[in-house]
Amino acid sequence: MQPAMLLLDESVQFFIHLERHLLSRKLTRGASIFAQQVSRLRSDVIAFRAVVALGQEAPAAVLARAFIEGVELAMSLVVDPDFSDRYFDSSDHSIFWKTSIGYGKIYPRVEAFLRLAGGTDEMIAERIAHHKATKDALSGHVHAANFSAMRSLAPPLLSHPGAFHIGELGTASAHLPRLCLLIADETQVFSACCLSLLIRPDAPEALKHHKPKAELGDVVASAHVLQTLLTEYGDQLEAHYATFLDYDTSAADAAPTSAT
């Protein structure tokens, strides 16, 4: 778990530094709405780390899905001021979600954000497809699928591939490292896009009004460290952890055994 946790810690650091930077600026309406959402992302990623450390796969997966949806919302707040205003002024968040976020309505804004930050057509298509597939894969933990309950009872062991442990608290599931890599990858893409937009002369309102202060330097340094680590080791770690167990529902059909 150590390499995956290291990348996760760098993700936590990035959102802590980004939040501090955003709150150190002039907080216009658009800037403050985005800053609030970054605070939510910081909260989610810290909570995710806590439940991973406790070995709780299902709650970690719930938080991972919430985190991805939160990143999509943050992207939309940056690129669409009208959406940002309607989101902030909404008094019925259920209706707003149905009319402006859910059922794929968020994706055109995610695409616009990635494109504004310099993303290619191929990169954008792959990223959105990745989001859709990942949220679908994690939905069983949100909506009480049988495999989620099964893996809570008998998590597949990271330390003993192919074995399960029944009723053990704090067991490191074979799925946890890949969830950590997921968070790190999403953080890296989001951080790179934010920095690309921040330095533009016509930066979006959500990212304007920055000054060359220590808070901004911390954001840049944190993003650089995470990008360097993922560029150097990301694919290797993904391939390594994939050999333990793919993130699918096949584990639900396997009989649990005790790793002794």
Tens-digit pLDDT profile for the chain (260 aa)? 889 999 999 999 999 999 999 999 888 888 999 999 999 999 999 999 999 999 888 899 999 999 999 999 999 999 999 999 999 999 898 999 999 999 999 999 999 999 999 999 999 999 999 999 999 989 888 887 878 887 777 777 777 777 777 876 777 887 899 999 999 999 999 999 999 999 998 999 999 887 778 899 999 999 999 999 999 999 898 888 776 655 444 443 443 344 43
* Cβ contact 197:74 at 8 Å: no
Number of Cβ within 10 Å of residue 214's Cβ equals 11
pTM above 0.75, yes or no: yes
From 209, 206, 221, 216, select the one nearest 35 (Cα to Cα).
206
C-alpha angle with apex 26: 205 to 76, nearest 5 degrees? Answer: 30
d(CA 254, CA 258): 13
| Per-residue model confidence (pLDDT) at position 100 | 93
| Structure-token match 């990745």, residue found | 130
Nearest alpha-carbon partner for 165 in 154, 176, 149: 154
Q: How far is CA 63 from the centre of its chain?
A: 9
Per-residue model confidence (pLDDT) at position 203: 92
Task: Output b/e per residue, 55-75; b: 16+ Cβ within 10 A.
Answer: bbbbbbbbbbbbbbbbbbbbb
pLDDT score of 30: 87
- pLDDT attached to residue 246: 52
pLDDT at residue number 260 = 36
Domain ranges for the chain, please list them.
Answer: 2-252
Q: What Å distances lie between residue 103 and 99, 106, 137, 172, 207, CA to CA?
A: 9, 8, 16, 34, 28
The pLDDT value recorded for residue 254 is 41
Sole residue written with tokens 């909260």 = 43
Rg (CA), the chain: 19
